[in-house]
Amino acid sequence: MTVLELRDVHRVHGTGETAVNALDGISLTVEPGELVAVMGPSGSGKSTLLNLCGGLDSPTSGLVLVDGTSLRSLSRKQLAAWRRKRIGYVFQDLNLIASLTAAENVALPLDLDGVRRSRQQAEKALSEVDLDGYADRFPDEMSGGQQQRVAIARALIGERRLVLADEPTGALDSRTGETVLRLLRSKVDAGAAAVLVTHDARHAAWADRVVFLRDGVVVDVSSRDQPEELLSTP
């Protein structure tokens, strides 16, 4: 089943003469096991698109469906619960809570829903991102790369099938950034769907499809549906 679908989505900021078409008729689907990267210059609509996908913003017209459910049909309370359960976010600035340990940060979405044994699930999620033994550390006791892995563990815990990542490697050095992308890729290969907003072509290249936005319109799509056999490993 298609995890994310955008149908002719428009988002206009402002009104009258100052109105800006941030998104102008975007249609996009993301399937399970698919990583889609969104690229484009500043102001092209990348972040607006991601906010709409996650229900953090609403389209002026058009539909956003996650697992077949239109986000517009949900009340604010339902939408908040839906986001906690179904959608994982990874941001450039991490948004980890400084007063909580790694395990508590990861378990937080589950705790808010009253899920039992959230600690065990959090430890398992941390183990999956190679952070065994870090459960009781606070964010300021960890490196930037380790904190980003905590953020990814938090984004993927529970039944979430959709991960939305906004420049998740922005604050990291090149090698640590690649580790984070490998992790995201492996999670997608295991069945999740993900949208990655990035300005870096090397990062976008980890995706199955790269969507280029300009002035709120998709101007180009690069897909590796039919990969070219350019090289072979020795």
Partner 1 sequence: MSVKHGLLALLQRGPMYGYQLRVAFDSATGGTWPLNIGQVYTTLSRLERDDLVAALPENEGQRPYEITTQGRDELKKWFATPVQRGDRPRDEVAIKLALAITTPGVDVAKVVMTQRTATMRTLQEYTRLKTQPGDLPWLLVLDAMIFQAEAELRWLDHCETSLVRYEPKAVPATTDVEVPR
Residues found near partner 1 in the complex (CB under 8 A): 41, 182, 185, 200-202, 204-208, 210, 212, 219-224, 227-228, 230-234
What minimum distance in Å lies between the beta carbon of 177 and partner 1? 13
Q: Is 89 helix (H, G, I), strand (E, B) or coil?
A: strand
What minimum distance in Å lies between the beta carbon of 78 and partner 1? 37
What minimum distance in Å lies between the beta carbon of 155 and partner 1? 21
What minimum distance in Å lies between the beta carbon of 121 and partner 1? 27
The C-alpha atoms of residue 37 and residue 109 are separated, in whole angstroms, by 25
Nearer to partner 1, 17 or 228 (CB): 228
Please check whether residue 161 is in contact with residue 82, taking contact to mean a CB–CB distance below 8 angstroms: no
Nearer to partner 1, 19 or 205 (CB): 205
What minimum distance in Å lies between the beta carbon of 169 and partner 1? 14
How many CB atoms within 10 Å of residue 21?
16
Nearer to partner 1, 114 or 227 (CB): 227
The C-alpha atoms of residue 155 and residue 88 are separated, in whole angstroms, by 4
Nearer to partner 1, 62 or 170 (CB): 170
Nearer to partner 1, 31 or 67 (CB): 31
Question: What is the phi-psi region of residue 89: left when phi exceeds 0, alpha when psi lies from -120 to 50, beta otherwise?
Answer: beta
The C-alpha atoms of residue 220 and residue 149 are separated, in whole angstroms, by 31
Q: Which of 183, 188, 109 is nearest to 152 (CA)?
A: 183
